[in-house]
Amino acid sequence: MSVRTFRLTSKRSLEECPRDHALDGDQQSVCWIDIHQTPTKAMAELLHSIEMHPLAVEACLDGTPAARLSAFGDALFMGLPIHSAWDSPRRSHLLVVCLPGMLVTIHEAEIPALTHVFDQYTGGMRFHGDSTSAILYQIIDHIIDENLAFTLQTRDAINRVDELLDDESSDELTEQVRPLKRQLARLSAAFEDQLYCIGSLQTIESESFHVEGLQDYFRDAVSLLDHASRVITRQVGHLNAIQQEYQLKLQTKTNDRLRLLTIVSTIFIPLTLITGIYGMNFEYMPDLAWRYAYFSTLGLMVILAFAMLYGFYRAGWFR
């Protein structure tokens, strides 16, 4: 289990400190405990040592977390679904517990947004306030920044798929569209769940969390997340249009081939009829004894074939 502990300094930046410092109830500064580990007995003991509400501990240890925002006594619990990469096959959850004077984050997978917050705010950057709400806002803000970066990456991926439409010999488009649509669906679901959680935060006022002084920041976060969600929705529409256009091109190509086969078949129908007639085994048939009958019949068949080709050409069958 990897545990990092920080305290909020008088300059509103982060400073890494021993775990005992954060668990000391006499400390006046806001503390942040980050736990990188799957639910274990050791993690359960650590959460109980924080004097967290039993229901909040149970929610943190739940093996099947979902997007939720719940208040348990003086603890505010939030399960925030995230993607570590836009093409990640599965999403993970960042569990956040706000306590009076303390913020606890729990995650199984590595979360780049948290790493950025650690690096920036231990390097001298300042939070907007000296509360758990200010720290949580920066975490959310960095997650949303990653979401917006994901939308740019998905746009580039869709543009590459769009370019395949111009390659007549490419068979890669169908293979790329389906997994890309699945990834977009996963991102869209994660963004919607995040929008629900972060939007609900604006209506929460408790001892452990309050938005006073940060209303504009949280409204801006919701607006950006809503924008990212709408961008993903538009990209799904764009991808569907590409797939429909590709299917239309395939259908047109198939129709062209069927038209060619129809022309060939139509030309050979009368030629096959003539061949069938003269292939009958009757003893007395006209022109059988004529010296030029064979060549005359072949010539008639050739003239008939070219006449039909010319008629099809005039009718626009080859366009």
CATH of 2-248, one of 3.40.30.10, 3.90.280.10, 2.40.10.480, 3.30.460.20: 3.30.460.20
Query: What are the angstrom distances between the C-alpha of 6 and each of 17, 115, 132, 249?
Result: 5, 13, 12, 59
Distance of alpha carbon 316 from alpha carbon 202, whole angstroms:
67
**Predicted local confidence at residue 170, as pLDDT:** 61
Q: Which residues neighbour 253 within 8 Å (Cβ) at sequence distance 6 or greater?
A: none
Residue 277, pLDDT > 70, answer: yes
Distance of alpha carbon 29 from alpha carbon 21, whole angstroms:
10
The residue ranking higher by pLDDT, 124 or 117, is: 117
- Environment class of residue 46 by beta-carbon count within 10 Å: exposed (0-12), middle (13-18) or buried (19+)? buried
In the chain, the DSSP E strands lie at: 2-8, 14-16, 31-36, 68-72, 75-82, 92-99, 102-107
Residue 297, pLDDT > 90, answer: no
pTM given for the model: 0.79
**Predicted local confidence at residue 92, as pLDDT:** 86
Three-state DSSP class for residue 184: helix
Q: Per-residue pLDDT tens for 207-259? A: 788 888 888 888 999 999 999 999 999 999 998 998 888 888 888 888 888 88
**Rounded to 5 degrees, what are φ and ψ at 3?**
-125, 130
Quickly state the pLDDT bin for 27 (edges 50, 70, 90). Answer: low
Residue 148, pLDDT > 90, answer: yes
Structure tokens given for 19: 């775990």
The CATH 1.20.58.340 domain(s) of the chain lie at: 256-314
**Predicted local confidence at residue 37, as pLDDT:** 78
Which of 113, 111, 52 has its CA nearest to residue 77? 52
Distance of alpha carbon 25 from alpha carbon 38, whole angstroms:
26
**Predicted local confidence at residue 97, as pLDDT:** 92
Distance of alpha carbon 79 from alpha carbon 68, whole angstroms:
5
**Predicted local confidence at residue 153, as pLDDT:** 92
Distance of alpha carbon 7 from alpha carbon 317, whole angstroms:
79
Name the one residue in this structure whose structure tokens are 């306030």: 129
**Rounded to 5 degrees, what are φ and ψ at 167?**
-95, 105
Cβ atoms of 137 and 217 within 8 Å: the answer is yes
| Count of C-beta atoms within a 10 Å radius of residue 302 | 11
Name the one residue in this structure whose structure tokens are 């062209």: 256
Structure tokens given for 7: 């305290």
CATH number for the domain formed by residue range(s) 256-314: 1.20.58.340
Cβ atoms of 140 and 128 within 8 Å: the answer is no
**Predicted local confidence at residue 135, as pLDDT:** 92
Calculate the average pLDDT of the chain.
85
Using a pLDDT cut of 70, give the percent of the chain over it: 96
Mean pLDDT of 152-172: 80
Residue 168, pLDDT > 70, answer: no
| Count of C-beta atoms within a 10 Å radius of residue 134 | 19
Structure tokens given for 105: 């984050």
Three-state DSSP class for residue 83: coil
Residue 140, pLDDT > 90, answer: yes
The CATH 3.30.460.20 domain(s) of the chain lie at: 2-248
| Cα dihedral value 211, 114, 82, 85, nearest 10 | 140
Quickly state the pLDDT bin for 24 (edges 50, 70, 90). Answer: low
